[in-house]
Amino acid sequence: MVKPAERLKSIELSQIRKMFEVCDENAINLGIGEPDFDIPENVKIAINEALDEGFTHYTSNKGFLELREEISKKLKSDNNLSIDTESIIVTVGASEALYMCAQGLFERGDEVLIPDPGFLSYKACVDLSDAKPIPVEAKISNNYKIKFEDVEEKITSKTKAFIMNSPSNPTGAVMEKKDIKSISDLATDHDFMIISDEIYEKIIYDKKHYSPCEFTDNAIVINGFSKTYAMTGLRIAYLAGQNEIIEELLKIHQYNTACASSISQVAGYEALKGPQGYVKSMTSEFKRRRDLISKRLDELGLKCTRLDGAFYAFPQVENSFEYVQKAVKAGVITVPGSGFGQTCDCNIRMSYANSYENIEEAMNRLEKINI
């Protein structure tokens, strides 16, 4: 039997997907980070019209021009970034964008700083590139916000990149502007790249989002439509940055996927071009759910930091695996924190991208195992 590549030995399948697969029809799933909203009505109409018009063929590798123009406008209006259409690649989800960056920028001997806790794909993508992931602890004493000093102390001559994620999955933390700017200055001074995963940019409460691309040329922004417009299954996102780097990353994209789905690109174009009231309404509802889950976790005696963005809570428990199993028996799906870093054995992740009523019932069920 032919053996798989050696580098796959260090890769484990997602804890999130494992928990998703054990879910029965009566369980309330707080495990998956997927908005329970339908896509905007104008996007549905645009998809149907594109199908009727036969827009089902290849687009340019980088994505069709009109979509990239809208992304460029969005980056200017929202983040004050001047990035032209040739410096943008439309990708098959943010996952492909992250993988492209890892394969195009990292190699054996490089060190890549990743947040701990952090989204589990970061470590896996670094491992698959044969580089070395270096955890940067987001301390609970700082409400899981990574600080300038946390990154600075991890920098060595081998540091190739820092993967930044704000708002954060799994903690809901939103980094402060001063830390983002100071880390950006570090990237310029020490010549490493910031890969900024901004997929939760619009799902933010009472704070403002800042991109490191505002403060340094040594940054790539990854963003998309899955979370903001509930378009997870359409697998549509983008990356943007300095043209010289983007042209090199295009090689990975070209030989991996050729181009993103034409129909999904139409959906992304319409989402950006159309009215944005949908986004405000959805974020307002997430904030209502955030307030509910924060209150109920406090009543359950589960310590949880302030949730400033995304749609996750990351409370502390005595033993994450034991708690997760008890929760499953009570009919609630959560995810053990160990999948998100070395410091998370006593955390679980809960997604409040579920209905208000389901969250309330889930907390009622968890209340029974907390007695």
Question: Contact 220/239 with Cβ under 8 angstroms?
Answer: yes
Amino acid at 314: F
Cis peptide bond N-terminal to 212, omega within 30: no
Backbone angles phi, psi at 50, to 5 degrees: -65, -40
Question: Contact 126/176 with Cβ under 8 angstroms?
Answer: no
Q: Tens of pLDDT along the chain (371 residues)?
A: 887 777 877 777 665 555 555 556 789 999 988 999 999 999 999 999 999 999 999 999 999 999 999 999 999 999 999 999 999 999 999 999 999 999 999 999 999 999 999 999 999 999 999 999 999 999 999 999 999 999 999 999 999 999 999 999 999 999 999 999 999 999 999 999 999 999 999 999 989 999 999 999 999 999 999 999 999 999 999 999 999 999 999 999 999 999 999 999 999 999 999 999 999 999 999 999 999 999 999 999 999 999 999 999 999 999 899 999 999 999 999 999 988 998 898 999 999 999 999 999 999 999 988 65
Pairing mode of beta strands 237-240, 88-91: antiparallel
CA atoms within 13 A on the CB side of 90: 32
Question: Contact 88/239 with Cβ under 8 angstroms?
Answer: yes
CB crowding 109-143: b at 16 or more within 10 Å, else e: ebbbbbbbbbbbbbbbbbbbbebebbbbbbebebe
6: tokens are 């050696």
N- to C-terminal Cα distance for the chain?
52
Backbone angles phi, psi at 359, to 5 degrees: -65, -45
Question: Contact 100/249 with Cβ under 8 angstroms?
Answer: yes
Closest by CA position to 301, among listed 270, 323, 329: 323
Backbone angles phi, psi at 366, to 5 degrees: -65, -25
> How is the chain split into domains, by residue range?
6-39+277-369, 54-273
Largest CA distance in the chain: 59
Bridge partners of residue 335, in order along the sequence: 349
**What are the tens digits of pLDDT across the range 155-206?**
999 999 999 999 999 999 999 999 999 999 999 999 999 999 999 999 999 8
How many other β-carbons are positioned within 10 Å of the β-carbon of residue 11?
A: 13
pLDDT of residue 1: 81
Cis peptide bond N-terminal to 117, omega within 30: yes
pLDDT of residue 370: 67
- Give me the helices (H) in 22-119, please: 41-52, 65-79, 93-105
pTM passes above 0.85? yes
- Sign of the torsion angle spanned by Cα atoms 64, 119, 154, 315: positive
32: tokens are 């998956």
| Domain 6-39+277-369 fold | Aspartate Aminotransferase, domain 1 (3.90.1150)
Radius of gyration of the chain measured on its C-alpha atoms: 20
Pairing mode of beta strands 28-29, 219-224: unpaired
Q: How far apart are CA 335 and CA 241, in angstroms?
A: 33
pLDDT of residue 15: 55
Domain 54-273's class? alpha beta
Positions of E strands within the chain: 28-29, 88-91, 111-116, 132-137, 159-165, 193-197, 219-224, 237-240, 312-313, 332-333, 335-336, 348-351
Closest by CA position to 209, among listed 178, 174, 163: 174
